[in-house]
Amino acid sequence: MLDNLRNKKKEWEESSTPKERRERFFTTSSTEIDRLYTPLDIDHFDYAKDLSFPGQYPFVRGIHPTMYRGRLWTMRLFSGFGTAEETNQRYKYLLAHGNTGLSVAFDFPTLYGYDSDHAFAQGEVGRCGVAISSLEDMETLFNGIPLNQVTTSMTINGPAAVVWALYLVCAQNQGASLGEISGTIQNDILKEYIAQKTFIFPPEPSMKLIIDTFEFGSQKVPYWNTISISGYHIREAGSTAIQELAFTLADGREYVREAVKRGLNVDDFAPRLSFFFNCHNDFFEEIAKFRAARRIWAKIMKEEFGAKDRSCWLRFHTQTAGCSLSAQQPENNIVRTTIQALAAVLGGTQSLHTNSMDEALALPSEKAATIALRTQQIIAHESGVVNTIDPLGGSYFVEYMTDYMEEEVLKYFDRIETLGGVLPAIKKGFFQQEIARAAYEYQKQIDEKKRTVVGVNDFTSEEELAIPLLKVDPELEKKQVRRLQKLKKERNASKVEKVLRDVEKAAENGQENMMPYFMEAVKNHATLGEVCQVLREVYGEYEEPAIY
């Protein structure tokens, strides 16, 4: 059969001399694409082994046997700005308009573990996310939102364990038990060293804190995802789709190795590992990336760690590509986001954030956020793509791309292992240099007009569309600082001093799980910045080596 097809394909190629628009065609990540794909491109393909069925190992077609026929993905728009009051109002607005989960964007001082009244925070409070310094802030953020009835994702890394403690105590103060709340902390410090750079402590104590959250979560907060291993920021830094996938899964494997080394049973914590991917413009490349991700991760967990059942699932949240958005002709971003969101759904995401059209210019306005949410709702309820599972499964092109991405990821794994693993590779600048090269090549193609970005380097317009933008009132920073200083003045100072001393001793000891100490500290109104300062004094701060 294949020989016959091979002959027919040869005849077709020889008899047709079509004129094509350019000599070579590439994906967004510069992978060359052939004119046509046939069974010859997947002649090694074993449907039973490589494809299987949804809900069955290796889960390439989805982790659930019914996928969206059973339950739609969580519509979780990323949001946060100003003080906790303003963001609380936005959350209630989004929930009223059909958002099915919350996702917290924190400002830079919070991401770096500083209080809003710290000198380093001046001018940045509430600018790119919400300012959270205390338990009072966290309680204001979720005022009127029952935390045992909504899932919350928090994009926080260096101080993730402390912010999680704030959230857990807040939930308890609402009357919820730890056993009934659910959500996610990003908590992925490796990708911070690789891409986003909002790290605080050196790698070793940072990894220790992460494994503390794995252990505490598996024992006390069983429905919480204690990490969201993130390729999103790797892609935003300029990586290719293959690099995003390879580096993210390599980080995930490193976390599992560290947890097993601690003595944790893989099947106790692995079911609560989650992932976070970017979805860029190239429709089929992104779908193949998600399908390959599930298969690679399932094989890692089963073959390397002996994991069972749900421990082999790759559950992931997707955010459409912020780096693909343009400040020029911003309404074009609605179309880009729609294509990306559709690819994420066809790729089998469990949760989705759709970027707003104005995000290349400012924080999302209410109107822009509503359009972004409606984009998901139209895909879910009008497009028909949710009615069958993995509808592109079996496509010669999609299966070829899925296989190709897996093969290329495994090559990166080999290179990383040759360098001694993820941490040595970070210290040698391997990931950073790979991403920098990819980002340079991509931008060079745009600058030379070898790659078209509509409205940016082609199809431009003299008359730019004007859209209303959200602006953060500078008075909000003063309001936040006054509230924080009032809290520090009125709380029990001696109690705060004691709980911070307990945190210091436990950190110096290095053998205890830090989560109970963090919870006790924030319960007694020690602030995020104060707890992180204690940890800075014990662990030190990480300084990235000069590698370029």
Q: Is the dihedral of CA 458, 460, 466, 472 positive or negative?
A: positive
Q: Which helix (H) or strand (E) holds 479?
A: helix 475-490
CB atoms within 10 A of CB 531: 27
Distance of CA 461 to the CA centre of its chain: 34
Q: pTM for the whole thing? A: 0.96
Give every strand in the sheet of 273-279, ordered side by side: 74-75, 351-353, 316-320, 273-279, 227-230
Domains and CATH numbers, the chain: 55-447 (3.20.20.240)
pLDDT tens, residue by residue, 241-295: 999 999 999 999 999 999 999 999 999 999 999 999 999 999 999 999 999 999 9
| Contact (Cβ atoms closer than 8 angstroms) between residue 522 and residue 165 | yes
Q: Residue 548 pLDDT more than 60?
A: no
pLDDT on residue 365: 94
Cα–Cα distance, 242 to 207 (Å, whole number): 25
230 bridge partner residues: 276
pLDDT tens, residue by residue, 494-523: 999 999 999 999 999 999 999 999 999 999
Confidence of residue 14 (pLDDT cuts 50, 70, 90): confident
519 bridge partner residues: none
Confidence of residue 48 (pLDDT cuts 50, 70, 90): low
pLDDT on residue 121: 97
pLDDT tens, residue by residue, 201-228: 999 999 999 999 999 999 999 999 999 9
Cα–Cα distance, 297 to 322 (Å, whole number): 25
**Nearest residue to 399 (alpha-carbon basis) of 82, 2, 43, 13:** 43
The residue assigned the tokens 């906790």 is 84
